[in-house]
Amino acid sequence: MECDKRLTNLIADILKKEFKLSGAQILRTAPDNPKEDNYRPKSKKAHVLGQFQEGQEVREDIGEITFTDVAGREAIYYIAHPYVHSEGMQVETIIKQMRSFARLLKDYNAGVEQLSLVLPVTPYDLNHSVKRREREGLLEVDHLRMFLEDLARDNYNEIITICSHSDKTREIAQDLGMFFRDINPFRSESGVPSPRLGPFLYKNPENTEKRVDYDSQIAKVTPFITWIKNNYKDNMDEIYFVAPDDGSERLLEKIAYACRGDKQHILSILKERLGPGNVKILGVKSSSTAQLEDIQGRTCVFADDKRLSGNTLNEIAYSLKNDHNAGPVVALIAHDQSYDDGILKHTCIDKFVFLETNPRSYAAQLEDDRIERMSMETTARLLSTEIFDSYVKLRDLGEQKVR
């Protein structure tokens, strides 16, 4: 998949140019004879970002990696891309590839101190989409622990991902001794590990003197907050932040505070679920700092970790507009896991803004002026930030510290 190669190359390029890690190596785990290897076709690449070694240039090894490529490295970051629509590739096959690589290192005693798994979106979050489409239930509920236990058994000691669907993933990973880095794309500056991002943000090695372009650099790693500020900086009082469920209420509070400097203009919806994707708004919770009558003619902003069918969000938007005279509705969504073209029918939402973590989704193939997808470079920079922080901790502290 060309998008896979592009994301990995972007990560390496950003680490080299923006974080001054000139020794990041790309080792591509693709076979030399793809026609003879049905298990891992060449078009389905996984990538390994190897040990950081100062004084070396970023290089790319074409063909299958050898034991010599990986033995004795201080840190290896295995970057995999388990997208929903991967030209027929099953998520389970990608998991087998992750585990096969790790077992190779383990069986041959490769001496790798840190083995990190880097996933724009976790396999079991994606399988949630696949299983929902096939009405087979929630796979991550049934087998999440088994998946993480397998990774720990194969000596993965860190997972880096973006906006995981369940807090349970972190809990289980930490119980198994794995460091779990879950990047929040809705974060503000306070959520960025700025003291540890070195030349990306600071002039001097002590990380005390900020770069002249510090603010613009922070904007690059706070994508959704930056999007809101860029689009509504002169009309922030016209925006209301709507939490359709308990899980998004605290998130909307943080977004509102980052954009407004207070926690006003937040509506936490009380709803009745009448059936799949069919809801009725009953009112707002006592924790809300605004009322339904306040949103007449005003822009309403949703924030969510993923879009599957999208029916529930559209139903809430329909009620806000038709029952409460709301103005435009904007949905900020981390993962586009749309498994059909239903988004074309969801006309109650005026704007969809997606982080690009799944370029194979149904919605990504559609032409719709309401859909805005952030660049792949934005996703790569978020992952690069965590990879850099991970490596600096290992290099300077000699260990990982769960935060």
Taking residues 111-118, report their average pLDDT.
Answer: 88
CB atoms within 10 A of CB 58: 18
Q: Is residue 362 part of a domain?
A: no
Q: Is residue 140 part of a domain?
A: yes
pLDDT at 321: 94
**By the 8 A CB rule, do 112 and 319 touch?**
no
**CATH code for position 234:** 3.40.50.2020
Phi, psi of 262 (to 5 degrees): -150, 180
Q: Beta 114-119 vs 75-79: how paired, if at all?
A: parallel
pLDDT at 289: 94
Same domain, 140 and 266: no
Q: Is residue 146 part of a domain?
A: yes
pLDDT at 397: 60
Q: Which of 49-63, 68-82, 130-144 has the lowest mean pLDDT?
A: 49-63
The dihedral sign for the CA sequence 48, 87, 353, 300: negative
Same domain, 178 and 41: yes
Q: Is residue 311 part of a domain?
A: yes
- Residue 219 burial (C-beta neighbours within 10 Å; 0-12, 13-18, 19+): middle
* Domain boundaries, position 276: 222-354
Same domain, 384 and 298: no
Same domain, 385 and 332: no
Which one of 83-92, 131-140, 328-337 scores highest in mean pLDDT? 328-337
Q: Is residue 156 part of a domain?
A: yes
Q: Is residue 55 part of a domain?
A: yes
Same domain, 120 and 259: no
Q: For residues 88 and 41, what is the distance between their CA atoms, to the nearest angstrom?
A: 11
Q: Which of 40-49, 124-133, 184-193 has the lowest mean pLDDT?
A: 40-49
pLDDT at 194: 74
pLDDT at 159: 93
Element (H, E) at 231: helix 223-232
Taking residues 212-226, report their average pLDDT.
Answer: 96
For residue 398, give both structure tokens: 């000699």
Same domain, 149 and 36: yes
Total number of domains in the chain: 2
Neighbouring-strand partners of residue 210:
202
Place of tokens 């190359």: 9
Q: Is residue 315 part of a domain?
A: yes
pLDDT digits (tens, 9 = 90+) for 12-52: 999 999 998 877 777 766 544 444 444 443 334 456 665 54
Neighbouring-strand partners of residue 335:
306
Same domain, 24 and 167: yes
**By the 8 A CB rule, do 163 and 185 touch?**
yes
Same domain, 136 and 226: no
Q: Residue 57 above 50 pLDDT?
A: no
Same domain, 22 and 69: yes
Cα 127 to chain centroid distance, Å, stands at 15
Taking residues 145-163, report their average pLDDT.
Answer: 90
Query: What confidence tier does 398 reach under pLDDT thresholds 50, 70, 90?
Result: low
Query: What confidence tier does 280 reach under pLDDT thresholds 50, 70, 90?
Result: confident
Q: For residues 243 and 304, what is the distance between their CA atoms, to the nearest angstrom?
A: 9
Selected residue with higher pLDDT from 143 and 181 = 181
Number of H helices, E strands in the chain: 11, 14
Same domain, 14 and 141: yes
pLDDT digits (tens, 9 = 90+) for 259-271: 999 999 999 998 8
* CA proximity to 161, closest of 290, 335, 292, 296: 335
Q: Is residue 191 part of a domain?
A: no
Q: For residues 329 and 99, what is the distance between their CA atoms, to the nearest angstrom?
A: 42
3-state secondary structure 145-190: HHHHHHHHHCCCCEEEEECCCCHHHHHHHHHCCCEEEEECCCCCHH
Same domain, 42 and 176: yes
Same domain, 294 and 386: no
For residue 352, give both structure tokens: 């969809």
Selected residue with higher pLDDT from 73 and 34 = 73
